[in-house]
Amino acid sequence: MEDRPQLVLDIAGVLVNNISSVFWKELVVVSGVTLQVIKEQFNEIKRDLWTGNLMEEQLWVWLVHHYPGINTDRAREILIKTLEPLPSVQYLEQWSRIADIHLLSNHCREWLEPILTVFKRHTKSITISNQVGLCKPDIQIYEWVVSHFEFNERVLYVDDQEKNLKPAISLGWETLLADDNNHWIKDIEPKLIQKR
């Protein structure tokens, strides 16, 4: 069997948009607190959320505690509905013909679940941080993904955050930074074919 390249893709910022500004604006309107303050406070608990130390339902308890006017059902609905596919999703089938695709994301599986069905048929593995208790840029989560590889010689990793590329580089993976305009998409196939 041919040694197929392994294509590892981040989800948020690469396949779906990051948490939408619509969600953050809803929190600002309801709480009366500035966006900067809300994001700073969210950043304080984000690692716990991404690693599963703070369960998804506990996030809503935390939000209500900090911002009592929030309707958690509405906020959750907005958050999930605004996680929309990016243009790269339409290439998954095509890329899967030349590479084994693995997804690696710092996220809550509960929020991604509705969209994961679109990805499953084209991927070999899906690793979501709150399910494995690790999050990027911890090298252990990258090693977790490696355990799903059938081949390990040629790996291309795409992420929208430069800090998350460094552990991949240390593992010998080639990396590609996803830009906001999705220009990175045109570089995938040449890199995978070049790696053959």
Using alpha carbons only, how large is the chain's radius of gyration in Å?
18
Q: At 21, is the secondary structure helix, strand, or coil?
A: helix
Number of structural domains the chain divides into: 2
Tokens of 17: 């948009």
Q: ω into residue 137 within 30 of 0, thus cis?
A: yes
Considering the domain architecture, whether residues 126 and 109 belong to the same structural domain is answered as yes
- Maximum CA extent, the chain: 59
pLDDT confidence band for 55 (50 / 70 / 90): very high
- What is the model's pLDDT at position 184? 97
Indicate if the pLDDT at residue 158 is higher than 90: yes
Q: Give the integer Cα–Cα distance in Å for 131 and 153.
A: 27
Residue 1 lies in a domain: no
Q: In this structure, is residue 31 part of a structural domain?
A: yes
Range of the domain at 10: 6-17+84-194
What's this model's pTM, rounded to 2 decimal places? 0.93
User: How confident is the model over 168-196, as pLDDT tens digits?
Assistant: 999 999 999 999 999 999 999 999 987 55
% residues pLDDT > 90 (the chain): 73
CA distances from 19 to 49, 73, 81, 120 (A): 14, 16, 10, 21
- Which residue matches tokens 């703070």? 54
Q: Are residues 10 and 36 in the same domain?
A: no
